[in-house]
């Protein structure tokens, strides 16, 4: 038996609870992992609270991230005792995920625990930090340089936003942070933001084209925020979009794209090939100050994850929540 958060939907309604589960109930896969840490991401909040239809079958163990030790493997890629990391691949949505003391998954979904990080540190980064790195890599591929001007980061106090700020500032960019929590200004400046702006200026309907300001944007919000960010991006600039906290709609026009030549990069962190994942973590190992992880992350136990998921959906969580599944 092992402990896990189980999400169920039946005649009793939609509910999430910490349960004791038999190992025989684990789904199919060629690698079984003793999970050490998982995390709470936006998708996990949706899965646990039922505020979004992300869970595709029931019962489901949420948790789109985990790190731990291989205890059994029929794959030549991994053996018992190997430390591994998983981000995405639909776990916690269509396949049991990491908010559990045991997980069984496909070997193709795993990468070796990145060098330079403990399991806890890798999960302090998690999907949020790894997605932020993919956003930054897209801007680097675009050719963006610090001398090109300011970079806007929306949803700045969240996990992706927090990491985007610290990564971009470490690379020498001038970062402007947009947030609905102006009380977090000191935290955001400590991460490397030079200016904090209220999200209200971006989250309402705006003009198809606005005054050019941003050389680039990292957006985890979507909807009007993404539309306004595009409308304010400089000619030949780039926007990396990776989230939909405000909404998955995109109420914009083609004007920023055909009149200013901006590029919109869609960042999909879920099914990225192993080689690109490893490359992202190699950059993260060079750019992330381990002390900064303490600023960005907060450890909780499995029992508390459900109540924190509610707070996450209410927008009351700063940075990253690491879940110690064995406490």
| Exposure letters 189-198 (e unless 16+ CB within 10 A, then b) | bebbbeebbe
Strand partners, 95: 91
pLDDT category, 300, cuts 50, 70, 90?
very high
| Exposure letters 247-257 (e unless 16+ CB within 10 A, then b) | eeeeebeeebe
Q: Domains plus CATH for the chain?
A: 2-113+292-324 (3.90.180.10), 126-266 (3.40.50.720)
Predicted confidence at residue 295, as pLDDT, reads 82
**pTM tops 0.95, yes or no:** no
Residue 316 in this model has a pLDDT that exceeds 90? no
- Name the DSSP letter for residue 184: G
Burial of 126 (0-12, 13-18, 19+ CB in 10 A): buried
Name the H helices within the chain.
Answer: 42-49, 119-142, 159-170, 185-191, 200-203, 223-231, 255-258, 274-287, 290-296, 305-313
Strand partners, 66: 86
What value does the mean pLDDT take over residues 213-242? 98
What value does the mean pLDDT take over residues 319-327? 92
What value does the mean pLDDT take over residues 197-226? 97
- Summarised one tens digit per residue, pLDDT across range 256-296 is 999 999 999 999 999 999 999 999 999 999 999 888 888 88
With contact defined as beta carbons under 8 Å apart, do 152 and 214 qualify?
Answer: yes
DSSP 297-323: EEEEEGGGHHHHHHHHHTT---SEEEE
Predicted confidence at residue 12, as pLDDT, reads 85
Predicted confidence at residue 106, as pLDDT, reads 97
Nearest-angstrom CA–CA distance, 97 and 118: 20
Residue 104 in this model has a pLDDT that exceeds 90? yes
pLDDT category, 93, cuts 50, 70, 90?
very high
pLDDT category, 160, cuts 50, 70, 90?
very high
With contact defined as beta carbons under 8 Å apart, do 222 and 202 qualify?
Answer: no
DSSP 76-108: TT--TT-EEEEE-TTBTTTB--SSBSEEEE-GG
Residue 95 in this model has a pLDDT that exceeds 90? yes
With contact defined as beta carbons under 8 Å apart, do 321 and 152 qualify?
Answer: no
Spatial CB neighbours of 48, under 8 Å, sequence gap ≥ 6:
5, 7, 16, 62, 305, 306, 309, 310
Nearest-angstrom CA–CA distance, 244 and 239: 14
What value does the mean pLDDT take over residues 185-194? 96
Predicted confidence at residue 296, as pLDDT, reads 84
With contact defined as beta carbons under 8 Å apart, do 232 and 151 qualify?
Answer: no
What value does the mean pLDDT take over residues 230-253? 96
Measured torsion, CA atoms of residues 199, 204, 207, 211, in degrees rounded to the nearest 10: -10
Q: Which of 127-136, 159-168, 197-206, 315-324 has the lowest mean pLDDT?
A: 315-324
Predicted confidence at residue 320, as pLDDT, reads 87
What value does the mean pLDDT take over residues 164-188? 96
- Summarised one tens digit per residue, pLDDT across range 43-65 is 999 999 999 889 999 999 999 99
Q: How far is CA 136 from CA 84, 156, 240, in A?
A: 24, 14, 8
Residue 169 in this model has a pLDDT that exceeds 90? yes
Nearest-angstrom CA–CA distance, 128 and 288: 13
Mean pLDDT of the chain: 95
């Amino acid at each position: 038996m092992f402990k896990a958060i189980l999400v169920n939907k039946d005649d009793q309604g939609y509910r999430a609870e910490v349960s004791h589960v038999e190992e025989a109930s684990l789904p199919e896969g060629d690698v079984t992992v003793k999970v050490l840490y998982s995390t709470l991401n936006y998708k996990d909040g949706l899965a646990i609270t039922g505020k979004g239809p992300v869970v595709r079958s029931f019962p489901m163990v949420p948790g789109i991230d985990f790190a731990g030790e291989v205890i059994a493997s029929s794959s030549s890629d991994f053996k018992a005792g190997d430390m591994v990391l998983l981000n995405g691949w639909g776990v916690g949505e269509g396949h049991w995920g990491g908010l559990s003391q045991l997980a069984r998954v496909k070997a193709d979904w795993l990468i070796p625990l990145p060098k330079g990080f403990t399991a806890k540190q890798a999960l302090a980064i998690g999907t949020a930090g790894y997605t932020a790195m993919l956003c930054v890599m897209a801007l680097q591929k675009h050719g963006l340089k610090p001398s090109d001007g300011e970079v806007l980061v929306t949803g700045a106090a969240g996990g992706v936003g927090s990491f985007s700020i610290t990564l971009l500032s470490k690379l020498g960019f001038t970062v402007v942070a947009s947030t609905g929590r102006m009380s977090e200004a000191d935290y955001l400046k400590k991460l490397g933001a030079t200016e904090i702006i209220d999200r209200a200026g971006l989250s309402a309907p705006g003009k198809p084209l606005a005054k050019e300001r941003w050389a680039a944007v990292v957006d985890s919000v979507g909807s009007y925020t993404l539309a306004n960010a595009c409308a304010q991006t400089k000619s030949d600039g780039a926007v990396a979009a990776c989230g939909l906290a405000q909404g998955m709609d995109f109420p914009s026009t083609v004007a920023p794209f055909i009149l200013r030549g901006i590029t919109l990069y869609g960042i999909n962190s879920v099914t990225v090939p192993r080689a690109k994942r490893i490359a992202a973590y190699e950059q993260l190992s060079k750019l992330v100050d381990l002390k900064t992880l303490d600023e960005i992350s907060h450890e909780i136990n499995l029992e508390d994850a459900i109540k924190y998921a509610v707070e996450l959906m209410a927008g009351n969580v700063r940075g990253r929540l690491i879940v110690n599944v064995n406490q």
